[in-house]
Amino acid sequence: MRPRREDKNRSVNERILILCEGGKTEPNYFNGIKRDKAISNRLAALRIHVHHTKKNTAKELIAEAVELIKEAKEEKNPYNSSWIIVDRDGYTKHPEAFDRARAHGIHVSFSSPCFEYWILLHFEYTTSPFTNCEEVIGRLSRFMQGYAKAGDHYSLLKGSIGEAIARGERIIAHQNEVGTNQIWTSNPYSDVGILVSKLINL
């Protein structure tokens, strides 16, 4: 199902398209932001579309985002910005995907090795590399017993989003300092906080 067109009588300051590589954790998190009544006054200036998709690679997400952006322009209801949420876990063509996203003006929110590292940043800061996502989840389970990807994590985590954003800024700075040439080679890493900060602080 395509994102619903906005009522022409509404005053919409900014429309944001978000496509997520993961089928549960990531869309649940961003849909949680959409539903948060505590920040609804700030979100009133936004129309956030977390688009449901079965695509699961960065390349596929970009292709779908390009099509959605094109459709929105044709309907004279364009998106102000478009984002894809991807991670490093198991994918090997990030340089190609990042180049294509950049060519189409699509922002990439990237986590390594997986989105769960962004969730972990709500509890602690660590620069220790992880072998895989299972290892991140194992560490996350210290704070969220019985963690499951399908959970409504945002409602549990929203009280510490400020700390997560600050820790995300620290890990970006750290990876820059140690000389990481490209973010997809960084471990750990997450710049999801850039998008989250945009959504909750507009």
**What is the predicted pLDDT for the residue at 7?**
42
Which phi and psi (to 5°) does residue 27 adopt?
-65, -35
Q: What is this structure's pTM?
A: 0.87
Residue with the bigger pLDDT between 23 and 136: it is 136
- Mean pLDDT (whole number) for 9-25: 76
Residue pLDDT, tens place only, 71-130: 999 999 999 999 999 998 766 678 888 999 999 999 999 999 999 999 999 999 999 999
